[in-house]
Chain A
Amino acid sequence: MKTSKKSFTAIFRNQIFIPIAALLLLVIVNLIVDPSFFKITYQLNSDGQHILYGNLIQILDFGSELAILAIGMTFVTAASGGQDISVGAAIAIAGSVILRVLCGNNTRPEAGQLQTTFLVAFLVACVVAALFGAFNGLLVSVFKIQPMVATLILFTAGRSIAAWINNNELPIISDQSFKYFGGYIPNVPVPTPAILAVVVIIVTFLLLKFTNLGLYIQAVGINEKSSRLNGLNPTAIKFLSFVLLGLCVAVAGLIKVSRLSTINYSVIAKDIEMDAILAVALGGNALGGGKFNMTASILGAYVIQFLTITLYSMKVQSDALPAYKAVVVILLVVFSAPTVRNWMSKTWKNLTAKNTAKEVA
């Protein structure tokens, strides 16, 4: 009796309970409304390639950038106790760099006229995105500016910088193989963004398992002073978390520009920063920093995409989407508030106490 009760509350207490509950809720709603939502088919696309097709695949496909960003955002949130709101603009910059490096001054290169390989372009974008991450990190860690205020700078200026990198031109890459990163690799029936997301997730978990990074970030997030007294360098850890987010941004940028083989500076990855922050919050992570659960954040990202696709398939007006996300935010905020939590655990205790009392009698 005692052990089962303990495990029961443990499930509720567990951080990952929140995104899993949200996911289950969405699954149940979709099962009731239209079970064919979950249908996956194996069919031909226009390039004559067999691919997996269906809503679930679409969620994995379009949720991948968000999942990748949620990883970096979790690091930043945990270490600095604030959020980076410039990731959308930084994606525009990273994407612009990739196109600029590939195209040079020719905005419409034919296949075979590219200046360099995709790998080089991606690595340059990684360096640039990491530098912009470092800029944010510097403001936050060294100059102690509130993260949201510090990243507001790049949030405002980033898209103009992205446009400036390409001289306000909109390069288009006609080389079909550039589409692989945002589409499908020949003979692979799974969308590449999903594969890239899995790769980033694996790298992250290896990083967390084989280094002390996770521990250090949590220590700094929980108490900066005591972590310094224990020989950690909080400034360096915070700085590093922003650089890691920069690398995530570069991967997301590659996927975004590859999807359409071009870029539109003002709409690419628009409002994605809010979704990334929401993913971290949905993962039950404290937005004030400290302990984090990476799996929960990643799951949170896919839950958001699940919600989006669910609403699209129910033909809810898409300009009403933010309102539904706002409902999620309100629920999260309410349920994570200490007073509500206390009240809930109290009522739970009362309920169970009554039950045991009855049993004794």
Chain B
Amino acid sequence: MKRKLISALLSVAMASTLLVGCGSSASTSTDGGSAAAPAASGDLISVGIINNDPNESGYRTANVNDLKNTFCEANGYDAQFAYSLKNDEQIAAAQKFVQDGVDYLLLSAADTAGWDSVLKDAQTAGVKVILFDRTIDADPSLYEASIVSDMAKEGETAVTWLAGQGLDEYNVIHIQGVMGSAAQQGRSGALDAKAAAEANWNIVTQQTAEWNAEKAEQIVTSVINAGDSFNVIYAENDDMAKGAVAALDKAGISHGVGKDVIVMGFDCNKWALEELLAQNWNYDGQCNPFQSSYIDAIIKDLEAGKSPAEKTVIMDEKGFDASTITQDDVNNYGI
């Protein structure tokens, strides 16, 4: 019995060390390897970039690629990357970058809380911090600038567009993202406010599909089977809009420009914009993943001794309408 217990404990310990090994190597792998030492980098500007997992979504993949393309040696940067969806792992990576003595720390935080102490360390060490993509709950004096998306504005742009369609009645199937995420809150807020304010807007169903296309398909199919009538699908990302459209297709319900159901998505994936171009969908709201040029400009300013013009930069974000979108838009804004 005792031996069994010991062997069980040992095997658990073995497996968990394996796991820890896998976990940390997968999540905080650093690129840039040998060139990392600041002394060797000469006049290169060294930056430590902390981001979320590139596989999180098409948005994140585009975001990571954009950063990698900008912060490369050809552009005068020596960049190290750390990826994690977990806040504590991100903080650990930040501490490592501060100890390495990077010039700039670029941060897209997984969670808004818990960053104060490491950012104070960074300040004492003379590391300048720039936030991108997501903002955090910390004193603004702890970072130089933040470049963020205004999710609430994305929602408002979309709802304003929808209101401009001049339907007699808006019966909306509202498919939400993971509850509590910034994107969900911003994009839901605008629609909720509008539906509460207008008499001819009503929400047929409001469900979270957790960014999952298949769940969205099942939710929409259930609404169809229940016999409820609807004429708008407001999905908070492209994947879920795709799932919803699959449900419409199976039921033989027409969708798109001048058809029975208006389909709206977010994120501007390239394939989604192509659906707009083919007039199968009606609207796609942009969530701009291309922050690197803004960051680059700010770093150039700081290097020249100028402080950035604005502390918080809210990026331009468009909303595309299927009746006006062009192939150029697909090429330029598709991610």
Contact = CB atoms under 8 A, between A and B. Distances in A.
Given A51-B250, A62-B214, A259-B214, A156 B19 contact: yes
Interface stretch (B8-16, B74-82, B194-202, B281-289): B8-16
Interface residues of A, number: 51
A152 B23 CA distance: 11
Interface string B15-33: 1101100110010000000
A149 interface: yes
Contacts of B252: 43-46
B179 interface: yes
A144 B217 CA distance: 41
B327 interface: no
A264 B57 contact: yes
Interface in A181-240: 183
Given A267-B211, A318-B208, 13 more contacts: A46-B249, A143-B11, A145-B14, A150-B15, A156-B19, A160-B55, A163-B54, A168-B54, A170-B58, A259-B214, A260-B242, A267-B212, A313-B226
A144 B26 contact: no
Given A51-B250, A172-B271, A152 B55 contact: no
In the complex, which of the residues B8, B22, B226, B253 has the most CB atoms of chain A within 10 Å of its own CB atom? B226
A314 B16 CA distance: 42
B218 A317 contact: no
A177 interface: no
B209 A318 contact: yes
A39 to B, nearest CB: 8
B7 A54 contact: no
Contacts of A156: 19, 22-23
A270 B250 contact: no
B22 A146 contact: no
Contacts of B215: 318
Contacts of A45: 249-252
Contacts of A169: 61
A46 B248 CA distance: 8
Interface string B228-265: 00000000000100110010111111100000000000
Contacts of A46: 248-250, 252-254
Contact of B227 (A36, A160, A172, A312): A36
Contacts of B221: 58
Contacts of A183: 250
Interface string A33-51: 0101101000111110001
A44 B253 CA distance: 9
Interface residues of B, number: 50
Contact of B243 (A37, A160, A170, A260): A260
A157 interface: yes
Given A55-B225, A264-B239, A318 B219 contact: yes
Interface string B37-78: 000000000000000011111100100000000000000000
A249 B242 CA distance: 24
A358 interface: no
A262 B205 CA distance: 27
B192 to A, nearest CB: 15
B213 interface: yes
Contacts of B207: 312, 315, 317-318
Interface string B309-329: 000000000000000000000
Q: Is the interface of B mostly helix, strand, loop or mixed?
A: helix
Contacts of A264: 57, 211-213, 239
B307 interface: no
A359 interface: no
A157 B22 contact: yes
Interface in A278-323: 308-309, 312-313, 315, 317-319
A17 interface: no
B222 interface: yes
Contact of A266 (B57, B208, B214, B217): B57
A266 B54 contact: no
Contacts of A39: 225
A170 B249 contact: no
A168 B219 contact: no
Interface string A130-174: 000000000100011110011011001101100100001110100
In the complex, which of the residues B14, B15, B179, B209 has the most CB atoms of chain A within 10 Å of its own CB atom? B15
16 contacts: A45-B250, A51-B250, A58-B222, A62-B218, A143-B11, A156-B19, A163-B54, A259-B214, A259-B246, A260-B214, A264-B212, A266-B55, A267-B211, A309-B222, A312-B222, A318-B215
B8 A146 contact: yes
A75 interface: no
A152 B225 contact: no
A47 B249 contact: yes
B218 A308 contact: yes
A315 B212 CA distance: 18
Contact of B225 (A44, A54, A144): A54
Contact of A145 (B15, B209, B225, B243): B15
Interface string A46-66: 110001011100100010000
A23 B7 CA distance: 42
Name the 4 nearest CB pairs between A and B, nearest first: A312-B222, A46-B249, A163-B55, A267-B212
Interface in B171-215: 179, 205, 207-215
Nearest to A174: B271
Nearest to A170: B58
A36 B222 CA distance: 12
